[in-house]
Amino acid sequence: MSKSLKMKKTPRQLGFAMPPEWAPHAGTWLSYPHNPTTFYAKMDSARNSYVEMIGAVAAGETVHVNVNDDDTQDELEARLKKKGIRKNVVIHQFPTNDAWCRDHGAIFVKQKRTGEVAATCWVFTSWGGKYPHILDQQIPYKMAGYLKKKYFATGLAFEGGSIDVNGAGVLLTTEQCLLNPNRNPHLDKKEIEGAVKDYLGVDKIVWLGEGVAGDDTDGHVDDIARFVNRETILAVYENNKKDENYEPLKENYEKLLKATDCKGKRFAVVKLPMPDPVYFEEGRLPASYANFYISNAAVVVPTFDCDQDLAALETIRNYFPDRRVVGIPASDVVVGLGTFHCLSQQIPS
């Protein structure tokens, strides 16, 4: 059983910090898609891509999957069997409102000296109260309990997709999300920055501006810019000046070119193309190659059946020569307004 760490010292003061995603995992945690108002008629196709992701990740680590009930578990097990996925999958009947475990799951930190892993449990408000979320709010504690990890209850509205870390003290985020009054209106920028540093053990925050069009999370950074090592950031860039993403992404890219690490050194910033626009029922969807997930054995990259797929895969492949970089169709997954990074949460080893 896990227990809360009710201490005067913060995780940062206790030597805890969030490892980068490419650091070794003990596992990956997911929540199975089930909400018909999220994926609509694309549910079957979205689940097919989801199970492909499970297979790629399970090749190198344990995959934990939340399901709501016996029927959903049976349905998932049938899909796994059909794909020949028989190992490294643990199914939990931990009911959720939706599938976005990156945002409603615990965010894990690791003690730098002892290697102890603990969970930080934030308040999930479904991106400022946009959708039902009572079941989702319980997931961080259930994860910590099953894994027998101590946890820090932060009391702050926050989502894992809003940040990315390089493992060397730097965290990326956006003002559109973390400073949105629908999250923590009682805190100013300095206070929010201090809380994020204290709970995730980082020393410096790089603030970007707005996210991609169609993103209902208010600008999560995992659709915009991602660390691939301590010194390098992949930043999505739109070349079409008439596209609504052109100006916001250009501004973010220019900010990243000026950003520095904790020692004052500038990052290598590499452009990652944007896919062709993806629409559903006339609405623009937040399709982005930056929503890839780095697991022990594979990097799972969303693809969108357009000319930019190969260039995006090749760009990402350059930074992960020790992992299989696999593109999985995501045009139907993104109908839910997220893809593979949004669906997953890593557990450090």
Concatenated DSSP letters of 144-185: HHHHT--EEEEEEE--GGG-EE-SSSEEEEEHHHHT-TTT-T
Tokens 């973390």 belong to residue: 178
Provide the residue ranges of all domains of the chain, joining segments of one domain with +. Answer: 16-348
pLDDT at position 6 is: 53
pLDDT at position 8 is: 75
Could you give the CA distance from residue 279 to residue 332 in angstroms, rounded to a whole number? 10
pLDDT at position 282 is: 84
CATH number of 16-348: 3.75.10.10
> Is residue 198 classed as helix, strand or coil in its secondary structure?
helix
Query: Could you give the strand order of the β-sheet that contains 164-165, starting from the edge strand earlier in sequence?
Result: 164-165, 170-174, 204-208
pLDDT tens digit at each of 349 positions of the chain: 555 545 578 999 999 999 999 999 999 999 999 999 999 999 999 999 999 999 999 999 999 999 999 999 999 999 999 999 999 999 999 999 999 999 999 999 999 999 999 999 999 999 999 999 999 999 999 999 999 999 999 999 999 999 999 999 999 999 999 999 999 999 999 999 999 999 999 999 999 999 999 999 999 999 999 999 999 999 999 999 999 999 999 999 999 999 999 999 999 999 999 999 999 998 999 999 999 999 999 999 999 999 999 999 999 999 999 999 999 999 999 999 999 999 999 999 9
**Residue of 216, 178, 177 lying closest to 195 (CA atoms):** 178
What pTM was estimated for this model as a whole? 0.96
Tell me the one-letter amino acid at 92: H
CB 288 within 8 A of CB 275: yes
Could you give the CA distance from residue 209 to residue 219 in angstroms, rounded to a whole number? 8
In eight-state DSSP terms, residue 24 is: P
Residues forming the active site = 342
Look at the alpha carbons of 309, 310, 315, 319 in this order and tell me if their dihedral is positive or negative: positive
pLDDT at position 1 is: 52
